[in-house]
Amino acid sequence: MSNQGLQQLQDLRMYIGGRWVESTGAKRFEARSPATGRTIGTLPEGTREDAQRAIDAAQKGKAILAKMSTWDRSKICARVADVLEGRKEELARLLTLEQGKPYHTEARAEVESTIEGWRDAAEHVKWLETSVIPVQDRHKRVITIRQPRGVYAVVTPWNFPLNIPTEYLAPGLAAGNAIVWVPAPTTSAVAVKLVECLEEAEVPAGAVNLVIGPGPVVGDEIVAHPGTDAVGFTGSSATGEHIARRAAGKPLLLELGGNGPTLILDDADLERAAQATAFGAFFNAGQVCSAAERILVHRRVYQEIADRLVERAKQIHLGDPFDAGTQMGPLNNQPVALKTDRHIADALTRGARVRTGGARAVGLATDLYYQPTVLTEVTRDSLINREETFGPVAPLAPFDSDEEALEWANDNTLGLVSAVFTRSLSRAHFFAERLRTGIVNVNDSTNYWELHIPFGGVAGKRSGIGRLGGKHTLMEMTDLRTVCFDVRS
C-alpha cells in the first residue's frame, strides 16, 4: 500500500497556549493505519493536568480574542482557509492513511469541505445581525448583541476528523470563543496537522488548544471543568448523554447518533431511490450519523428495490484506499467492526436474510474491511433497527401503507435525518411534517447536507441538542445579550 509520499510521523505533540508540548504523563501511543495495521506515528497520551493547562491557556486566549473586532476574527478564519488550501493534498493523504477513507473519492472531498467551512465562518460572522426592540417606555432604547460564550470544550469523532472539528472550531473562533479541543484518539495525527495550519495562519496563542488522549480522561476533564463555559460534541448518543450530565448547567451543542429511516413509497422513481439510498448506506463505509440505516420499502416495489441495492453493493470495490479504483476503504477501528458483526448476527437470528455481503472481507491487509451488505426481511425488534450501526449495511423491511411506514419510522429513540422517496407532493408533505427527525430529505439520500443548512436532532429523541450549520452554529456558540438604554437628558 502506498502512502503517497508521506513519511512516518514521529514525535507529534499537543498544542497548548501557542506551543507544541509533550504530555505531563510522558506516555505515548501509536497511530495506526486501519488499512494496513502499520504504525504511522506516535502521539502523546494526555492527562487531566494537560487538559487543565489547556483550559488555563484558553482563558488567556479568550482575553486576546475579546480585543479583536468581528472583522479581525473573520480575517483569521479566512487565513486558515488559505493555509488549508495550500496543504490540502498533504491533509488528504494523511486523512486516508489514518482514517481509511478512499483518497480519490472521499478524503479530498472532505478537505475541500473543511476549507469551505472556514470560509463560511469568515463570511457568516460578518452578517450576524441583531435587533432593535420597540418598547413601551418612550425613554428606553433596547438593542440586542451577540457575545462569545467564553471557553468552549470541543470533543470530536473519527469518522470526519477534519470536517466535523471545523464545524465547531471555525464558527467558535469567528464568534470570539477560545477552544480546548479533544479529537478522537484514532484520528489524532490528522488533528495535529489541522492545528499546524491554524498556527501557520497566526491564530492567537491560546485561542485554539489541542489535547490528545482518552476521552474518559482528557475529554471528561474539559467538559466538566469549571474553567470551560460551554460544550460542543459530536458522537454517540450514550457518550453525549454522559457529557451532558458531566457538563450540567453549561450550554450544550450536541450532534448525536442517528438511525435515519429511508422511506421508499410505491410511486417513487425507483432508480433514483436505489441510487441515493445506496449512497446513504455505503458512503464512508456507512460511518456517518446520517446514514440510511433503516430502509422501509412499500411492498409493491420491495423486491425491485432490494435487487437494485444488491446490484449496487456488488459493484463496490474494496481495497487500498489510495488506489483510484477503490470505492470503499476499511472501517476505522475494531469496536465499530464488532458492533457491525453483532448487529448483523442479531438480525439473522430474528429472521433477516443476507442478500449480499454479511461479513468482513477476506484477503485484504486487515480484518477491518467489511463487505457492503444488503439485508432483507429485517424485523422491528432487531438491534439493527433500534440502534446506530455505523457500518456498510442496508437493512430492508416492507410496509403496506403510509401510516404503517410512518409509525415504524418514528418507533425509535433516535431522530436525526430521514428520507422519503415519492412523486406525490401531498405524500411528501405528509411525511415531512410527521417524521420525528431534525431533517427530512425528499427524493434524496439521508446523507444530503450542505455546510450552512441547520443540522441536528429533534426534541424527545436521543440525537442531540442545538443546530450545526452556517449562522446557526454561530447563534448556538454565542450568548444573546439585551442592552437597555435610558435616553432621558
**pLDDT (tens digit, 9 = 90+) per residue, 361-398?**
999 999 999 999 999 999 999 999 999 999 999 999 99
Q: Taking 90 as the threshold, does the pLDDT of residue 11 lie above it?
A: no
130 and 192 in one domain? Answer: yes
Q: For residue 9, is it within any domain?
A: no
| Residue 8, pLDDT score | 61
- Closest residue by Cα to residue 419 from 289, 287, 261, 256: 261
| Residue 189, pLDDT score | 98
**pLDDT (tens digit, 9 = 90+) per residue, 206-252?**
999 999 999 999 999 999 999 999 999 999 999 999 999 999 999 99
| Residue 4, pLDDT score | 47
Q: Is the dihedral of CA 292, 295, 301, 306 positive or negative?
A: positive
146 and 182 in one domain? Answer: yes
Is 289 among the catalytic positions? yes
- Closest residue by Cα to residue 3 from 96, 102, 109, 87: 96
Domain span including residue 436:
261-452
252 and 269 in one domain? Answer: no
| Residue 266, pLDDT score | 98
**pLDDT (tens digit, 9 = 90+) per residue, 98-152?**
999 999 999 999 999 999 999 999 999 999 999 999 999 999 999 999 999 999 9
Q: For residue 5, is it within any domain?
A: no
175 and 87 in one domain? Answer: yes
Q: Is the dihedral of CA 473, 479, 480, 483 positive or negative?
A: negative
Q: For residue 370, is it within any domain?
A: yes
Specify the pairing of strand 294-298 against strand 208-210. Answer: unpaired
- Selected catalytic residue, list 255, 293, 387, 476: 255
44 and 26 in one domain? Answer: yes
- Per the structure, the count of domains in the chain is 2
Can you tell me the mean pLDDT for 150-162? 98
- Decide: helix, strand or coil at residue 395: strand
7 pLDDT band (50/70/90 cuts)?
A: low
Q: For residue 8, is it within any domain?
A: no
- Decide: helix, strand or coil at residue 484: strand
10 pLDDT band (50/70/90 cuts)?
A: confident
**pLDDT (tens digit, 9 = 90+) per residue, 413-432?**
999 999 999 999 999 999 99
Can you tell me the mean pLDDT for 390-414? 98
Residues 6+ apart with CB under 8 A from 364: 318, 319, 330
Indicate which CATH number applies to the domain containing 276. 3.40.309.10
Q: For residue 56, is it within any domain?
A: yes
173 and 272 in one domain? Answer: no
Distance CA 191, CA 211 (A): 10
Rounded to the nearest 5 percent, the helix, strand and coil shares of the chain are 40, 20, 40
Q: Percent of the chain at pLDDT above 90?
A: 97
* CA distances to 82, 277, 417, 483 from 267, in Å: 47, 16, 22, 54
378 and 312 in one domain? Answer: yes
- Closest residue by Cα to residue 282 from 332, 219, 328: 328
291 and 146 in one domain? Answer: no
> What is residue 291's DSSP assignment?
-
104 and 28 in one domain? Answer: yes
Distance CA 445, CA 405 (A): 17
355 and 405 in one domain? Answer: yes
Cα maximum dimension of the chain: 84
Q: For residue 485, is it within any domain?
A: no
271 and 242 in one domain? Answer: no
Q: What is the pTM of this model?
A: 0.97
- Selected catalytic residue, list 289, 293, 387, 388: 289
5 pLDDT band (50/70/90 cuts)?
A: very low
Can you tell me the mean pLDDT for 163-177? 98
Task: Give burial (CB, 10 Å; 0-12/13-18/19+) of 361.
Answer: middle
Indicate which CATH number applies to the domain containing 166. 3.40.605.10
Distance CA 15, CA 225 (A): 19
Q: For residue 279, is it within any domain?
A: yes
81 and 102 in one domain? Answer: yes
Q: Is there a contact between 180 and 58 (Cβ–Cβ < 8 Å)?
A: yes
Q: For residue 305, is it within any domain?
A: yes
